[in-house]
Chain A
Amino acid sequence: DIQMTQSPSSLSASVGDRVTITCRASQSISSYLNWYQQKPGKAPKLLIYAASSLQSGVPSRFSGSGSGTDFTLTISSLQPEDFATYYCQQSYSTLLFTFGPGTKVDIK
């Protein structure tokens, strides 16, 4: 089974900061990596699919990069509405998925 890790598990940042979250897979998953944002009490929201493709309607300050085992989600200028928990997800095998443990971004 493919295991996913994320770092850091939490971070504190200020509005306007550049934020980077890392996700690592236990084996190569090419670009089969998605990113989601979840706010308390709400369903997750898709941000990035196929490692670097921005989902329609998602602000361009969000970007994804990486391939193989190491991936990054970057928020170029953190906005108040971006304080949330972020999850990576691998989709390497057809319709078999694994989520990372999540990274909580809160206000410094």
Chain B
Amino acid sequence: EVQLLESGGGLVQPGGSLRLSCAASGFTFSSYAMSWVRQAPGKGLEWVSAISGSGGSTYYADSVKGRFTISRDNSKNTLYLQMNSLRAEDTAVYYCAKVGLYCSSTSCYYYFDYWGQGTLVTVSS
């Protein structure tokens, strides 16, 4: 059974830093890309960042580029999100998600097939 368990959320002051972790189990972690998605209170889903299975390629939303860093430790089956220079607008529940892959004869498609339960980050003075 695939399980994703986020941790590390909490209250932080504007300009501060926080590191989120996502412990994965139930699948071959290094074989899959992983991603972070956030949801501000009462708002919709916002994709934040993604990382390839090897960790060699990373991708970011413009809203967090230069402030957030995604990484992974495949020996520990753990995904991370280092968040620096935090702003009030970063307040959200942060979900980690496993990136599934389906390939037809002509194309490959990515999607989020498993999600964690989320961890709340609150940026406030």
Contact = CB atoms under 8 A, between A and B. Distances in A.
Interface of A: 1, 30-32, 34, 36, 38, 43-46, 49-50, 53, 55, 85, 87, 89, 91, 94-102
Given A50-B102, A95-B50, A95-B52, A55 B118 contact: no
Contact of B112 (A34, A96, A98, A102): A34
Contact of B45 (A38, A50, A55, A95): A38
A29 to B, nearest CB: 11
Q: Say which size band chain B's interface belongs to.
A: 20 to 34
A87 B99 contact: no
13 contacts: A32-B110, A34-B111, A34-B112, A36-B45, A45-B115, A50-B104, A89-B47, A91-B110, A95-B35, A95-B51, A96-B59, A99-B44, A101-B44
A62 to B, nearest CB: 14
Interface of B: 33, 35, 37, 44-47, 50-52, 57, 59, 62, 95, 99-100, 102, 104, 107, 109-113, 115-118
Contact of B100 (A49, A87, A95): A49
A95 B44 contact: no
B107 A99 contact: no
B102 A44 contact: no
A102 B43 CA distance: 9
A36 B112 contact: yes
3 tightest A-B contacts by CB? A43-B115, A49-B111, A97-B47
Nearest to A45: B115
Interface centre among B33, B52, B110 (most CB of A within 10 A): B110
B115 A98 contact: no
Interface centre among B45, B62, B107 (most CB of A within 10 A): B45
Contact of B57 (A34, A95, A98): A95
Contact of A53 (B62, B102, B115, B118): B102
